[in-house]
Amino acid sequence: MSSYRTFEELNIGEELTPLIKKMTQEKINRYVSIAEDYNPIHTDEEFAKKTPFKGIIAPGYQTMAYISELLSRDFGNAWYVGGKLDIRMVKVVRPGDLLTARAKVVDKKEEGGKNVAVFEVHLINQNNEDVIIGTAEAAFNKNS
């Protein structure tokens, strides 16, 4: 599709347009009802309060989807087939948090017959704190 970006037009140091999402308890409840993830720390306030996290936290798997959505939006197939993500959850996400997914181009290389763009990725909360950090790669076919 024409809206996807090409390997050639990416510049090292460039920031992709961020993606903003609001986390809510309703979304967490929906997520745990569909995912095979039965951890009371996501849904049971009484239980969650007694843990070192002192309250409900969103599943890491739910929040990392926002980084994937950002890369899907910009790169389509180069992300769906050939994408790599390597991340750490460094801070909890609470219901009500406003999250921004960011990606910055840090390298461009050739690997396995494809053009590969490497990104530093972050998910940041409303206090400008990293909640997820890591790297991602998108692999572009050379004829596209």
Partner 1 sequence: MKEILYDDLIKGMQLPDMTYALTDDVIDKYLEAIDDLNPLYLDEEYAKKTPFNGRIVPPISMAIYSTVSSVIKPLKQKTPPGLIHASQKFEFTGLVRPGDELLIKTIVEDKYEKKGRKYVVFKSEVFNKDGQKIGTSWLSPIWPK
Where along the sequence are the contacts to partner 1 (CB under 8 A)?
1, 21, 27, 30-31, 33-41, 47, 51, 59-62, 64-66, 68-69, 72-73, 77, 79-89, 134
Is residue 119 within 8 Å of 103, Cβ to Cβ? yes
CB of 83 to partner 1, least distance (A): 4
- Is the separation of the CB atoms in 132 and 58 below 8 Å? no
Tokens linked to 21: 């999402």
Identify each DSSP E strand in 36-129 by its residue range.
84-89, 98-111, 114-124
Residue with Cβ nearer partner 1 (11 or 36): 36
Q: Whose Cβ is closer to partner 1: residue 13's or residue 75's?
A: 75
Q: Shortest approach of partner 1 to residue 124 CB, angstroms?
A: 17
